[in-house]
């Protein structure tokens, strides 16, 4: 009798394990490619690639008081620290969706894009910017 009960428990456990395996396999747990839409694990390298921040894509730029950064159309600027004003009328604040007027203060951590070549920003104090795209500092 004891041997019969052990055999039934063993068969029951095997059936449960097989059922769990086939249920998981049927649900696709073993067949999804990591990083695909079926398994959207996000890694640091993926985010950097999507944001265009891979080697050389965006640079931290330090400006001293009175220095001006100008760039080409499409150059992106994020103010990380300090006090900066818009230089020119072709600077768009993407964070709020507005055109930034000349000599208007630029907000910390807002994302700006230069809409017309030759526009940019001027440092009122020492500041740090994150810049992506073509630019010059004067």
User: Mean pLDDT throughout 20-28?
Assistant: 68
Contact 107, 61 (CB under 8 A): no
Look at residue 41 in the predicted model and tell me its pLDDT. 66
Neighbour tally for 121: CB within 10 Å: 27
| Residues 17 and 70 placed together within one structural domain of the fold | no
Residue 51 resides in a domain: no
**pLDDT above 80 for 48:** no
| Residues 20 and 67 placed together within one structural domain of the fold | no
Look at residue 22 in the predicted model and tell me its pLDDT. 73
CATH of the domain at 85: 2.60.120.1030
Look at residue 64 in the predicted model and tell me its pLDDT. 96
Give the pair of three-digit tokens for residue 39. Answer: 């398994």
Beta strands in 82-119 (DSSP E): 84-87, 91-93, 98-100, 111-114
Look at residue 42 in the predicted model and tell me its pLDDT. 65
- What's the pLDDT band for 10 if we cut at 50, 70, 90? confident
Domain ranges, residue 27: 2-41
| Residues 132 and 84 placed together within one structural domain of the fold | yes
| Residues 65 and 124 placed together within one structural domain of the fold | yes
């Amino acid at each position: 009798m004891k041997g019969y009960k052990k055999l039934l428990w063993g068969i029951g456990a095997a059936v449960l394990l097989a059922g769990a395996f086939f249920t998981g396999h049927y649900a696709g747990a073993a067949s999804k490619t990591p990083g695909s839409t079926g398994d959207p694990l996000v890694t640091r390298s993926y985010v950097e690639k999507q944001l265009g921040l891979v080697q050389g894509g965006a640079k931290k730029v330090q400006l001293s008081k009175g220095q001006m950064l100008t760039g080409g159309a499409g150059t992106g600027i994020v103010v990380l620290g300090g006090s900066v004003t818009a230089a020119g009328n072709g600077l768009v604040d993407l964070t709020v969706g507005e055109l930034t007027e000349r000599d208007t203060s630029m907000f910390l951590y807002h994302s700006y894009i230069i809409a017309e070549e030759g526009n940019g920003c001027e440092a009122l104090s020492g500041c740090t910017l994150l810049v992506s795209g073509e630019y010059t500092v004067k």
